[in-house]
Amino acid sequence: MASAVSETEPAARRTSLYDFHLAHGGKLVPFAGWSMPLSYPSLTHIQSHMHTRTHASLFDVSHMLQTRWTGRHAIEFMERLVVGDIQGLAPSGAATLSLFTTAAGGILDDTVIQRVGENELYVVSNAGCADKDLAHIHAQLAEFTSAGDKDVRVQVMDGHSLVALQGPTAVSVVEELAGTSLAGLKFMHGAGIKLKGIHTHVTRCGYTGEDGVEISVKHGDAPALAELLVKHKEVELAGLGARDSLRLEAGLCLYGHDMDESVSPVEASLLWTIGARKITFAAAPKPTFLGAEHILSQIGGPITKRRVGLIVAGAPAREGAQVVDLATNQVIGKVTSGVPSPVLKKNIAMAYVKGGFHKSGTEVGVVVRGKTQKATVSKMPFVPQNYYRG
């Protein structure tokens, strides 16, 4: 996570909820070029984390990049850029977590792609990658359209905010505001919904491992919507601190830490994001998404490193801590994220380790403050995910 410095740093952009955060006592810190709330005075970090696991918490995620892709060839174009099966998404609002990849097979960014029409996509990607993503998309679009008459438009939704309401009671809160049941809104599906007269687009997804929604709303309506949500007895405000420990318990990556352009989806243990029809072999048609040849060659084959979970004994292992072979003390990897788990009351971490050390139950060492502590490779998520499967 970005280090905390003055909220007045000139480079930090402000979301439409900046004044809302100040009014509620939010501690604002620079994050991915934005001034974002780290925490609020109403709850400690652990209390905020546990409130999300048991009730509902409201997160401002307006720093994320929202784009709308339209045109007869929008789906075809997206298929070239990501590993997921976008063509296979139902045009009635089905979504998938996917990865933008480079020609060399690295991960450019992670993204949620939702098909909201036959030839229309709603896409959310990371704030810290926004400039890089847009440059990549436009460069690839220029190449794509130069090959013939292609109809694709990519529009930045710079007039929209995004908030996430997460936790086991989050959807019931939204149902009260909507005046209707959301039982038919499946996990990773979205729809346009009015909340107390405010037009929104609600997607049943999130970054905490709990049931919940992300709500896209016009900037001008965002503060009023946030006030409506936070006034509910089930809802508390939450910031980046709780968001980080929640996502790590859920085994979810943070771009720039647990994955980047130097690792492939296979090395990042994200093989499940690759659409089944894109996992092709020698006899099949040549794959068309960027980096496919390199990525698909790693499936079932030896790879030099792999992302794993760790349960760490002793002090917490933070990003950058070396992972070593207990038998030889040789460095075999590096921690990319680490926190004390409020639910497990144990220290957990993600790391990349050399092939052969990635199997669950393997004991390794982690160097913390010059001392080697034992750690055990663990399956992820560390805490069971509670996504809605109705």
Question: What pLDDT is attached to residue 6?
Answer: 39
Q: Could you please report the per-residue DSSP string of 162-223?
A: EEEEESTTHHHHHHHHHTS--TT--TTBEEEEEETTEEEEEES--SSSSSEEEEEEEGGGHH
Residue 176: phi, psi to the nearest 5? -65, -40
pLDDT > 90 fraction of the chain, expressed in percent and rounded: 92
Asked if pLDDT for residue 14 goes beyond 60, the answer is: yes
For residue range 194-203, what is the model confidence (pLDDT) as tens digits?
999 999 999 9
* Structure confidence at residue 390 as a pLDDT band (50, 70, 90): confident
Asked if pLDDT for residue 3 goes beyond 50, the answer is: no
* CATH code matching the domain that covers 11-300, chosen among 3.40.50.300, 3.30.1360.120, 2.70.98.60, 3.20.20.70: 3.30.1360.120
Region 310-331: mean pLDDT is 97
Q: Do domains 11-300 and 304-385 have the same CATH topology?
A: no
Question: What pLDDT is attached to residue 120?
Answer: 98
Region 47-72: mean pLDDT is 98
Asked if pLDDT for residue 293 goes beyond 60, the answer is: yes
Region 286-302: mean pLDDT is 88
Region 326-343: mean pLDDT is 98
Q: Does the CA dihedral 75-78-79-85 come out positive or negative?
A: negative
Region 76-102: mean pLDDT is 97
Among 6-15, 138-147, 173-182, which stretch is predicted with the lowest mean pLDDT?
6-15
Among 249-258, 274-283, 332-341, which stretch is predicted with the lowest mean pLDDT?
274-283
Asked if pLDDT for residue 1 goes beyond 60, the answer is: no
Region 124-133: mean pLDDT is 97
Question: What pLDDT is attached to residue 302?
Answer: 85
Asked if pLDDT for residue 10 goes beyond 80, the answer is: no
> 267 among the known binding-site residues?
no
Among 43-57, 68-82, 277-291, which stretch is predicted with the lowest mean pLDDT?
277-291
Region 165-178: mean pLDDT is 98
> Are the beta carbons of 56 and 169 closer than 8 angstroms?
yes
Region 51-58: mean pLDDT is 98
* Top-level class of domain 304-385: mainly beta
Q: For the whole model, what pTM was predicted?
A: 0.95
Q: Which conformational region is residue 78 in: left (phi greater than 0), alpha (psi within -120 to 50 degrees), or beta? A: alpha
H-type alpha helices, 11-150: 18-23, 45-54, 74-81, 130-146
Rg value, the chain, Cα: 21
* Structure confidence at residue 279 as a pLDDT band (50, 70, 90): confident
**140: exposed, middle or buried (C-beta count within 10 Å: 0-12, 13-18, 19+)?**
middle
Angle of helix 240-249 versus helix 45-54 axis, rounded to 10: 60
Number of helices (H) and strands (E) in the chain: give both, helices first: 8, 20
* Domain extents in the chain: 11-300, 304-385
Asked if pLDDT for residue 335 goes beyond 60, the answer is: yes
Question: What pLDDT is attached to residue 175?
Answer: 98
Mean pLDDT value across the chain:
95
* Structure confidence at residue 5 as a pLDDT band (50, 70, 90): very low
> CB atoms < 10 A from the CB of 174, how many?
24
